[in-house]
Amino acid sequence: MEVIAKRPESLTKTPFTYCPGCLHGVAHRLIAEAIDEQGLINKMAGVAPVGCSVFAYKFFNFDMAQAAHGRAPAVATGIKRARPDMHVFAYQGDGDLAAIGTAEIVHAANRGEHISVFFVNNAIYGMTGGQMAPTTLPDMKTTTSPYGRKVDDIGYPIRVCELLATLVAPYYIERVSLLSPAEIIKAKKAVSKAIQYNKEGRGFTFIEFVSTCPTNWGFDPVKSRDWARENMLPFYKPGVFRDKGEGVE
Amino acid sequence: MSKILMKGNEAVAEAAIRAGCRLYFAYPITPQSELIEYMAKMMPKVNGTFLQAESEVSAINMVYGAAGAGKRVMTSSSSPGIALKMEGVSYMAGAELPAVIINVQRGGPGLGDIQPSQGDYFQATKGGGHGDYRMIVLAPSSVQEFADMAAEAFDLADKYRNPVMILADGMLGQMMEPVEFKPAKTQEEIDALGNIHNSWCICPNEDGDAKHHHEINSLEIDPSVLEKHVNELYEKYGRIERDEVRFDTYNVSDDNEILCVAWGTASRIVKSAINELTAQGKSVGLIRPITCWPFPYEAVAEAIGPKVRKVYVFELNTGQMLDDVKIAVQGKVPVTFWGKVGGIVFTPAEIKEKLEACF
Amino acid sequence: MTTEMICAGFGGQGVLTIGRFIAQAAMKEGRNVSWLPSYGPEMRGGTANVSTVVSDEPIASPIVSFPDVLVALNQPSVDKFAPSIRKGGVIIINTSMCPHGCKRDDVQKVAAPMSDIAQEIGSQMVLNMLAIGIIIGKTGLIKYETIEEELNSFLKEKNPDLLEKNLTAIKRGIEIGQK
């Protein structure tokens, strides 16, 4: 019998604990598939963040470290420097990466650290109950911006890809979205490229996934994708910000 | 091997490299600058990693990563920087990771000053980070001992899979004394050390069929699982308390009328004062905890001779180890304290005066 | 036998080096030594000082309360440390920079216009070697040969001219110290 779909070897059999409609599982699967395809499972290590994907260390089927809030790029740096023969990625959400971990991500990128960072941006703190994130959109309501994000008071959302693209060292920076099958296929190509570059020791690679949070946004999964398309994508435009392998500087 | 005149900061860095440390992550701060500078200079020469991190917080998390990958790794800082590292220390204790942290203490609180202090005893021994954990704390009192402790700290860290701190101070970091180094570990020995943790650490699958999934983690969301984990840690700490207590005594005898307790730099000053009092026919002993945790409670109690009228604690703080001494003495004799703060180191003359007043 | 010494002066006068060479040489001669500098902002332009202890016994405190020898290269150093010199101890005063001198009469004084002499020899850089010479001449704390060997080892190739000036300064210092 022909197998047309199966669990990637790079995922454990532990069931995901994400909410219905959450796209973390999709992002996990894309990364796992890319690692399988590159044949890296025996030399791979990942770092899980604090946030909804805190249990990522249970889901990926190779050695994993769980990092303190925001510190995943520093932990990944330590692993990579200690085990240069391994391939290392960090997986982070928006609060983890763009608020408490701003220094770590900027400096890991600036060193051109030979790691991949996968950044899931859904404009909200999910695990702690829907608080405002550094990527929360203007006027967007959250439990800590109950009257909407007031940009005069708390500032504008941070566009992380654009921010990191000001640095010289990063090798590959791309923003993709996970809102439809077509976008997911496109995202898979970006993830595969990041993992391939990682395998080849090219340098720092960074993929941002524009994602959703049906639970904390208060929409059903379908509507949350529509909302993201209408509100997130105009502000967080998908695209390649840096790809030294393709001459995109 | 002949003796070399060296600053404590440099000597401990050299000794760490000789002990097989090939990864060092840190952020600059006075008065430990010579340490980070020595590592910057020497690590590339032994194909090691020197990385100046963006902050102390990042540095300790790089240590967490490298320790999670099973390699000998070290960081160093001074008091305010160590405070920033404490989050990582708690995580490492929780995840049971071996690493060495050096604190070249300076005056506090806050930015304080950059002169020698012992103000971080509580921070080091009573849990500077959150949660129910312990860290092994070694306190040197000479440049030679500072250097010797590097290898010992790594061995203890590896043995117990626990962070170990060497608690020095600005004086030990800045002063030069002759130091004699142990032979450096060979590459074969270092390679062997690099694999002793392969049963649990992040490492490649050498054999594709025997795939492993190691988790470096301090998160146990299920209370009953966390309870079990903390109890196991507690059991481990009990073994450390039983087997790893270290202390030194000086002039302790049945004739002692005063027993001094002092650690690190302070103990040296007390020794000088004792020498002068001995010349005057006054009998004063000294017990010096070498491990601040585990604290030598029994040894302190046993050092109290039959004629001892008072236990005198001297520290470069307002009385921190004092609490442990009181626990050890259990009210059997009066415990007195005198200390200097602000980064000012007391002199032998001052200690002598304090002790003379007891006779 | 234990000798406790404090060297003090303006930052840049090389006081730390005086202590360091003495400690280094004494160590080579098989004795116990410690070298404890003042550190921090005062090292530049302010008053720097270093405590050096040389002993046949293991050294307990590296902190010197009552020095046997004080090298004072400027007036603030005299004012700060001279009162604590042990009775019968030695004070070496750089009179070029100590207009008020030292008032104590229960210590042995060696006073010389050290900065001027250093300039005569060729550079303020040899002021510290002059001081070392005086220490050797006055106290015999270390041997001249040990210092010479030490200087040879790192200056002979690199800067023979400076080596010559340094050795001249030490010899001159010894003469002053022996007077």
The pLDDT tens digits for A181-221 are 999 999 999 999 999 999 999 999 999 999 999 999 999 99
What CATH number does the domain containing A83 carry? 3.40.50.970
User: What are the C-alpha distances in Å from B267 to residues B264, B310, C3?
Assistant: 6, 17, 20
Beta bridge partner(s), residue B314: B338
Tokens representing B351 are: 């200690």
Closest CA to C87 of C101, C112, C70, C71: C70
Residue C65 has a pLDDT of 87
The answer as to whether A49 is a domain residue is: yes
Flag if A71 and B70 touch (Cβ within 8 Å).
Answer: no
Chain B stretch 28-57, residues whose beta carbon is closer than 8 A to a beta carbon of chain C: 30-31
Residue type, C43: M
Nearest Cα of chain C lies from the Cα of B288 at a distance, in angstroms, of 13
pLDDT at B209: 61
Q: Using the beta-carbon criterion (under 8 Å), do A71 and B57 form an inter-chain contact? A: yes
Tokens 């003359």 belong to which residue? B349
B97-126 mean pLDDT: 96
Among candidate residues B157, B40, B149, B47, the one with its CA nearest the CA of residue B104 = B149
Whole-angstrom distance, CA of residue B23 vs CA of residue A79: 10
Check residues B1 and C101 and name the one with the higher pLDDT: C101
Tokens describing residue C92: 């070496």
Percentage of residues of chain B with pLDDT beyond 90: 94
Q: Does A64 touch chain B (CB under 8 A)?
A: yes
Q: In C130-152, which positions are buried (b, 16+ CB within 10 angstroms) versus exposed (e)?
A: bbbbbbbbbbebbebebbbeebe
The answer to whether B71 contacts A83, with C-beta atoms less than 8 Å apart, is yes
**Best mutation site among A52, A81, A87, A89 for testing chain B: the one with the most B CBs within 10 Å?**
A81
Kind and range of the H or E element at A198?
A: helix A181-199
Q: What is the mean pLDDT of the segment spanning A67-92?
A: 98
Q: Has residue A12 been placed in a domain? A: no
Residue B113: list chain C partners with CB under 8 A: 40
Distance of alpha carbon B232 from alpha carbon B125, whole angstroms: 19
Residue-level pLDDT at C38? 87
- Retrieve residue A75's tokens: 């932990």
A123: left (phi over 0), alpha (psi -120 to 50) or beta: left
Q: What's the pLDDT tens digit per position in B114-167?
A: 999 999 999 999 989 999 999 999 999 999 999 999 999 999 999 999 999 999
pLDDT of residue B194: 82
Q: Between residues B165 and B187, which one has the greater pLDDT?
A: B165
Chains that touch A (3 or more CB pairs under 8 A): B
Asked whether residue A101 is assigned to any structural domain, the reply reads: yes
CB < 8 Å to C63, chain B: 171, 269, 345, 347-348
* Interaxial angle between packed helices B8-18 and B33-42, expressed in degrees from 0 to 180 and rounded to the nearest 10: 40
- Tell me whether residues B91 and A65 touch, CB distance under 8 A: no
Number of domains, chain A: 1
pLDDT category, A243, cuts 50, 70, 90? very high
Backbone angles phi, psi at C54, to 5 degrees: -125, 125
Measured distance CA(B27)–CA(B23) in Å, rounded: 14
Q: Does C29 touch chain B (CB under 8 A)?
A: no
User: In residues, how long is chain A?
Assistant: 249
The reply to whether A63 touches chain B by the CB within 8 Å rule is yes
Give, for A242, the enclosing helix (H) or strand (E): strand A239-243
Q: How far is B187 from chain A (nearest CA, A)?
A: 15
Q: What is the pLDDT of residues B44-61, one digit of tens each?
A: 999 999 999 999 999 999
Residue A102: its pLDDT value, please?
Answer: 98
For residue range B330-359, list pLDDT tens digits in order. Answer: 999 999 999 999 989 999 999 999 999 999
Range of the domain at A44: 24-246
B220-244: average pLDDT = 97
What is the pairing mode between strands A172-177 and A205-210? parallel
CA A233 to chain B, closest CA, distance in angstroms equals 32
- How remote is the C-alpha of B163 from its chain's centroid? 10
- Cα separation, A15 vs C94, whole angstroms: 81
Q: What are the structure tokens assigned to A63, written together?
A: 């050695």
Per the structure, the complete domain to which residue C167 belongs is given by 2-178
Of the candidates C152, C157, C114, C113, the residue with the CA atom closest to the CA atom of residue C132: C114
Q: Which two tokens stand for residue B173?
A: 């970091």
**B18 within 8 A of B10, measured Cβ to Cβ:** no
Q: Which two tokens stand for residue B324?
A: 């442990």
> Chains contacting C with at least 3 CB pairs below 8 Å?
B
Q: What is the pLDDT of residue C179?
A: 87
Task: Find the helix or strand (DSSP H, E) in which A92 lies.
Answer: strand A87-93
Amino acid in position B113: D
Q: Test B53 with A107 for CB contact under 8 angstroms.
A: yes
For residue A153, count other CB atoms closer than 10 A to its CB.
8
Task: Round the average pLDDT of chain B to a whole number and report it.
Answer: 96
Query: Going by beta carbons, is chain A in contact with chain C, meaning 3 or more pairs sit under 8 Å apart?
Result: no
Q: Yes or no: say if A212 and A23 are a contact pair by the CB < 8 Å rule.
A: yes
Task: Name the amino acid, one letter, at B150.
Answer: A
Closest CA to B42 of B27, B23, B28: B23
- Using the predicted structure, report yes or no on whether residue A75 has a pLDDT greater than 90: yes
The end-to-end CA distance of chain C, in Å, is 24
Cβ of A45 and B202 within 8 Å? yes
Q: Is A114 on the interface with B (CB under 8 A)?
A: no
d(CA A57, CA A60): 6
8 Å CB contact between C82 and C63: no
What's the order of all strands across the beta sheet hosting B310-315?
Answer: B247-250, B284-289, B258-261, B310-315, B335-339
Question: Which is more confidently placed, B43 or A5?
Answer: B43
pLDDT of A1 > 90? The answer is: no
Which two tokens mark B74? 């070290």
Residue C93 dihedral angles phi and psi, to the nearest 5°: -115, 130
Q: For the domain that residue C80 is a member of, what is the CATH number? A: 3.40.920.10
- Chain-wide mean pLDDT for chain A? 97
Domains of chain B by range and CATH? Answer: 4-193 (3.40.50.970), 248-356 (3.40.50.920)
Sheet containing B215-216: which strands, arranged edge to edge? A239-243, A172-177, A205-210, A116-121, A87-93, A44-48, A63-66, B215-216
Three-state DSSP class for residue A220: coil
Give, for all 179 residues of chain C, the pLDDT tens digit.
Answer: 999 999 999 988 899 999 999 999 999 999 999 999 987 655 455 679 999 999 999 999 999 989 999 999 999 999 999 999 999 999 999 999 999 999 999 999 999 999 999 999 999 999 999 999 999 999 999 999 999 999 999 898 899 999 999 999 999 999 999 98
Shortest Cα distance, chain B CAs vs residue C119, angstroms: 30
The whole-angstrom separation of Cα C178 and Cα C139 is: 9
Token pair, residue B276, equals 């002068």
* Dihedral angle over CA of C43, C48, C121, C130, nearest 10: -140
The pLDDT of residue B1 is above 90? no
Tokens, residue B337:
């304290």
Please give, one letter per residue, the 3-state secondary structure of chain B: CCCEEEEHHHHHHHHHHHCCCCEEEECCCCCCHHHHHHHHHHHHHHCCEEEECCCHHHHHHHHHHHHHCCCCEEEEECHHHHHHHHHHHHHHHHHCCCEEEEEEEECCCCCCCCCECCCCHHHHHCCCCCCCCCCEEECCCCHHHHHHHHHHHHHHHHHHCCEEEEEEEHHHHHCEEEECCCCCCCHHHHHHHCCCCCCCCCCCCCCCCCCCCCEECCCCCCHHHHHHHHHHHHHHHHHHHHHCCCEEEECCCCCCCEEEECCHHHHHHHHHHHHHHHHCCCCEEEEEECEEECCCHHHHHHHCCCCCCEEEEEECCCCCHHHHHHHHHCCCCCEEEEECCCCCCCCHHHHHHHHHCCC
Confidence at residue A46, expressed as pLDDT on a 0 to 100 scale: 98
**Contact by Cβ (8 Å): A138, A228:** no
Q: Which of residues 192-251 of B touch C (CB under 8 A)?
A: none
Contacts of B51 in chain A (CB under 8 A): 77, 81
Residue of A42, A50, A55 best to disrupt the B interface, most CBs of B under 10 A: A42
B356 shares contact with chain A (CB less than 8 Å) = no
Task: Specify the pairing of strand B136-138 against strand B163-169.
Answer: parallel
- DSSP secondary structure letter of residue A68: P
Asked if the Cβ–Cβ distance from A77 to B51 is below 8 Å, we say yes
Number of domains in chain C: 1
Would strands A124-125 and A131-132 be described as parallel, antiparallel, or unpaired? antiparallel
Among residues 96-115 of chain B, which lie with CB inside 8 Å of chain C? 113-115
CB A147 within 8 A of CB A141: yes
Q: Is the peptide bond before A20 cis (omega within 30 degrees of 0)?
A: no
pLDDT at B71 over 90: yes
